[in-house]
Amino acid sequence: MMKIESVIDKAEVARFREIIDAGPWVDGNETSGHQSRLAKRNRQLKQNCDAAAEAGQMVLNAIGRTPEFIAAALPLKVFPPLFNRYEGGETFGNHVDNSVRQVKGTDFRIRSDLSCTLFLAEPEDYEGGELVVEDLFGEHRVKLAAGDLVLYPASSLHRVEPVTQGARVASFFWLQSMVRDNGEREQLYRLDRTIRTLSEERGGTDEAVLELTNLYHNLMRRWADA
User: What's the pLDDT tens digit per position in 187-198?
Assistant: 999 999 999 999
Give the pLDDT confidence score for residue 104 in this predicted structure. Answer: 87
Query: Which stretches of the chain are assigned E, i.e. beta strand?
Result: 2-4, 25-27, 40-41, 43-45, 75-78, 82-87, 91-95, 100-102, 109-111, 114-119, 126-128, 131-135, 138-142, 149-153, 157-160, 163-177
Question: Which tops the pLDDT comparison, 35 or 58?
Answer: 58
Give the pLDDT confidence score for residue 28 in this predicted structure. Answer: 83
* Residue 37 predicted with pLDDT over 70: no
Give the pLDDT confidence score for residue 36 in this predicted structure. Answer: 63
Could you tell me which residues come within 8 angstroms of residue 102 by beta carbon, excluding any fewer than 6 positions away?
A: 108, 109
Q: Please tell me the CATH code under which domain 182-223 is placed.
A: 4.10.860
Domain coordinates of the chain in residue numbers?
2-177, 182-223
Angle between helices 182-202 and 207-223 (to 10 degrees): 160
Give the pLDDT confidence score for residue 127 in this predicted structure. Answer: 98
Confidence label for 38 from pLDDT (cuts 50, 70 and 90): confident
Could you tell me which residues come within 8 angstroms of residue 25 by beta carbon, excluding any fewer than 6 positions away?
A: 43, 44, 45, 46, 85
pLDDT, tens digit, 9 for 90 and up, residues 87-120 = 999 999 999 999 999 998 899 999 999 999 999 9
Give the pLDDT confidence score for residue 135 in this predicted structure. Answer: 86
Q: If we measure between CA atoms, which residue out of 112, 115, 224 comes closest to residue 178? A: 224
Q: Stretch 75-98: mean pLDDT, rounded?
A: 96
* Residue 136 predicted with pLDDT over 90: no
Structurally, at CATH architecture level, domain 2-177 sits in Sandwich (2.60)
pLDDT, tens digit, 9 for 90 and up, residues 137-168 = 899 999 999 999 999 999 999 999 999 999 99
